[in-house]
A and B are shown apart, each in its own frame.
Chain A
């Protein structure tokens, strides 16, 4: 068993850290104020390779795989979690197209995503769906060679930033009654809905799409008709949840650093509070959680790179890491005392950001339901 990163992975981390520490901080105040993603950084991110990290080189990407992607998202998240939030959903679109797209679709849509010319986005959740994916109300009715789509999609990351949308709608009943579509921006009947005003991950754009007799040509099916649940779940599970877990891991790393710095700088009773055992216990718990989450994250992405089935492991990494980020941020706020709830201290933002990762990409309960089934299966009578 090998636990060390390769020289390639170490250099990748260093390269992303340098980019993130230089380019992101000047944008953060405005992101927090406006809730807008700094789109002007898409090109620089593409030049480095962030946007195309999992896209095959023949479609303009770097093709470095999921462990590399985890390192990238983690390092971006260490500085500002809204960035990897936006990027991980961008990668979901890349993965959906790579896994299920026709050659024509890959040639049309993957290169601009890798080049940072547009944002990738995937919409599965609708107001009647969410955890109950099959319960969605958004419909796609085939008339001749055209699907007529009606309904809404909500809580969509990058909703207002992309030139095309990947979405799932009902074309029948049950698990095989869902289909995935690519909808180009400007298609008649496809409209942008509200922009959400979140309390965390402020700079990651989240919003709604509205479909009002939206006419989509049959060639825009992503995968076969009836394959929408597979497209949605594979993309969410393998790319979305590993992505959310990496966002949580970046936050957790930042929480650890902020807490450790503060504990060593803050002097009470004539010495740094880091010398107090109560603080050391808090730090020990944060540090241990960070290490557990690193191992969960790196393993699941390694499994994905080996083409191993990893749906249970993605759920474990996602729910555990995002919850750990919240718990660690709460402890770090306790270490900070009243400073911890002041806007000028990063730790309050990290807490807000961590909270937003908990429901995103699947609630902890949905994740645990799947993990529970796996845990019980070997002993089922």
Chain B
């Protein structure tokens, strides 16, 4: 195997989701001040890449579209064991929806070149569109398998993939190159080893701008994104309250009736 690209996305840490808000103007997430983590499913994708490398060799390259301040997070992926990273970072990328992001990632993959497998998390925990992987594959004109829960390299030129479907799973065989979108059932990502933290310090993160990857500016950024947020509102969750009046016996009778009506107990 020559090269495995793993797409990773910095996302707001779920522990701080109570501080995430929406920008009413752009209708996008306001992430300022929210600590970022690597999208959890992307770590499963990276683990799969590292296992493939252990058995079939090759180079594991992280690919991410994010501002330069995401570098410490990308370095976590290097500490887990990836060989190097490419960070697509340019102001013109800002505000890209999933289609525009896929355009940029596809350009990043072409820029890296010589890939056999592109691994991604099935979806990110912030946007959760689950669209990028298939869009990326389409733009690169290669196949995509989503919901991957099993992966084995049976030989140097073939992959055996287990895909979760609604009623169970199917086993597929594929050559290269291919985009695989993984579910958490696939594996348990390794913890960052301390030796990996030391090793990551000398691994390269290449920052790549649109001057390098040359995506049509009309197809990226907020203006180049076809997704338009129609509107938004904040849902309030409140407990229903109801006061039952009468004597104790009457209240109990009403209460039991209400419990039946709500379907908590069936006759």
A and B: bona fide binding partners: yes
Give the distance to chain A from B8, nearest Cβ to Cβ, in Å. Answer: 15
In the complex, whether A380 has a CB less than 8 A from a CB of chain B is: no
Point out the residues of chain B lying under 8 angstroms from A8, CB to CB.
Answer: 197-198, 201
In the complex, whether A224 has a CB less than 8 A from a CB of chain B is: no
Give the distance to chain A from B81, nearest Cβ to Cβ, in Å. Answer: 12
In the complex, whether A11 has a CB less than 8 A from a CB of chain B is: yes
Whether B72 and A62, one on each chain, are in contact in the complex, defined by CB atoms closer than 8 angstroms, is no
In the complex, whether B237 has a CB less than 8 A from a CB of chain A is: no
Whether A18 and B194, one on each chain, are in contact in the complex, defined by CB atoms closer than 8 angstroms, is no
In the complex, whether A19 has a CB less than 8 A from a CB of chain B is: yes
Other-chain contact of B197, A15, A19, A44, A47 (Cβ < 8 Å): A15
In the complex, whether B195 has a CB less than 8 A from a CB of chain A is: yes
User: Given that A8-B197, A8-B201, A62-B198 are contacting pairs, would A15 and B75 also be in contact in the complex, using a CB cutoff of 8 Å?
Assistant: no
In the complex, whether A49 has a CB less than 8 A from a CB of chain B is: yes
Which DSSP category, helix, strand, loop or mixed, fits chain A's interface? Answer: helix
| A64 vs B192: C-alpha distance when bound (angstroms) | 15
Q: How many residues of A contact B (CB 8 A)?
A: 19
Point out the residues of chain A lying under 8 angstroms from B57, CB to CB.
Answer: none
Point out the residues of chain A lying under 8 angstroms from B192, CB to CB.
Answer: 11, 14-15, 18, 48
In the complex, whether A12 has a CB less than 8 A from a CB of chain B is: yes
Whether A15 and B198, one on each chain, are in contact in the complex, defined by CB atoms closer than 8 angstroms, is no
| A11 vs B79: C-alpha distance when bound (angstroms) | 9
| A7 vs B75: C-alpha distance when bound (angstroms) | 10
In the complex, whether A212 has a CB less than 8 A from a CB of chain B is: no
CB within 8 Å of A: which of B38-81?
72, 75-76, 79
Whether B79 and A49, one on each chain, are in contact in the complex, defined by CB atoms closer than 8 angstroms, is no
In the complex, whether A53 has a CB less than 8 A from a CB of chain B is: yes
CB within 8 Å of B: which of A158-179?
none
Whether B195 and A18, one on each chain, are in contact in the complex, defined by CB atoms closer than 8 angstroms, is no
Chain B, residues 186-228, CB within 8 Å of chain A (1/0): the string is 0000111111011011000000000000000000000000000
Whether A49 and B194, one on each chain, are in contact in the complex, defined by CB atoms closer than 8 angstroms, is yes
Chain A, residues 44-84, CB within 8 Å of chain B (1/0): the string is 10011110010000000010100010000000000000000
In the complex, whether A365 has a CB less than 8 A from a CB of chain B is: no
Residue of A nearest to B43 (CB): A18
Point out the residues of chain B lying under 8 angstroms from A291, CB to CB.
Answer: none
Other-chain contact of A11, B75, B190, B195 (Cβ < 8 Å): B75
| A319 vs B76: C-alpha distance when bound (angstroms) | 36
Give the distance to chain A from B197, nearest Cβ to Cβ, in Å. Answer: 5
Whether B72 and A49, one on each chain, are in contact in the complex, defined by CB atoms closer than 8 angstroms, is no
Whether A10 and B72, one on each chain, are in contact in the complex, defined by CB atoms closer than 8 angstroms, is yes
Point out the residues of chain A lying under 8 angstroms from B190, CB to CB.
Answer: 47
Point out the residues of chain B lying under 8 angstroms from A11, CB to CB.
Answer: 72, 75-76, 79, 192, 197, 200
User: Given that A7-B75, A10-B72, A11-B75 are contacting pairs, would A18 and B191 also be in contact in the complex, using a CB cutoff of 8 Å?
Assistant: yes
Other-chain contact of A49, B75, B76, B193, B200 (Cβ < 8 Å): B193
Point out the residues of chain B lying under 8 angstroms from A50, CB to CB.
Answer: 194
| A15 vs B190: C-alpha distance when bound (angstroms) | 10
Point out the residues of chain A lying under 8 angstroms from B194, CB to CB.
Answer: 12, 15, 48-50, 53, 62, 64, 68
Whether A64 and B191, one on each chain, are in contact in the complex, defined by CB atoms closer than 8 angstroms, is no
Point out the residues of chain B lying under 8 angstroms from A64, CB to CB.
Answer: 194, 198
| A68 vs B198: C-alpha distance when bound (angstroms) | 12
Whether B197 and A12, one on each chain, are in contact in the complex, defined by CB atoms closer than 8 angstroms, is yes
Interface centre among A10, A47, A49, A68 (most CB of B within 10 A): A49
Give the distance to chain B from A47, nearest Cβ to Cβ, in Å. Answer: 6
Interface centre among B190, B193, B197, B198 (most CB of A within 10 A): B197
Give the distance to chain B from A54, nearest Cβ to Cβ, in Å. Answer: 11
CB within 8 Å of A: which of B169-196?
190-195
Point out the residues of chain A lying under 8 angstroms from B195, CB to CB.
Answer: 49, 62
User: Given that A64-B194, A64-B198 are contacting pairs, would A15 and B79 also be in contact in the complex, using a CB cutoff of 8 Å?
Assistant: yes
Residue of B nearest to A49 (CB): B194
12 inter-chain pairs at a CB distance below 8 angstroms, sorted by A residue, are A8-B201, A12-B197, A15-B79, A18-B191, A47-B191, A47-B193, A48-B193, A48-B194, A50-B194, A62-B198, A64-B194, A64-B198
- Known: A10-B72, A15-B79; 17 extra A-B contacts, CB below 8 A, are A7-B72, A8-B197, A11-B72, A11-B79, A11-B200, A12-B194, A12-B197, A15-B192, A15-B193, A18-B191, A22-B191, A44-B191, A47-B190, A47-B191, A48-B192, A53-B194, A62-B195
Task: Give 6 closest A-B pairs by Cβ, nearest first.
Answer: A49-B194, A15-B192, A62-B194, A19-B191, A48-B191, A11-B197
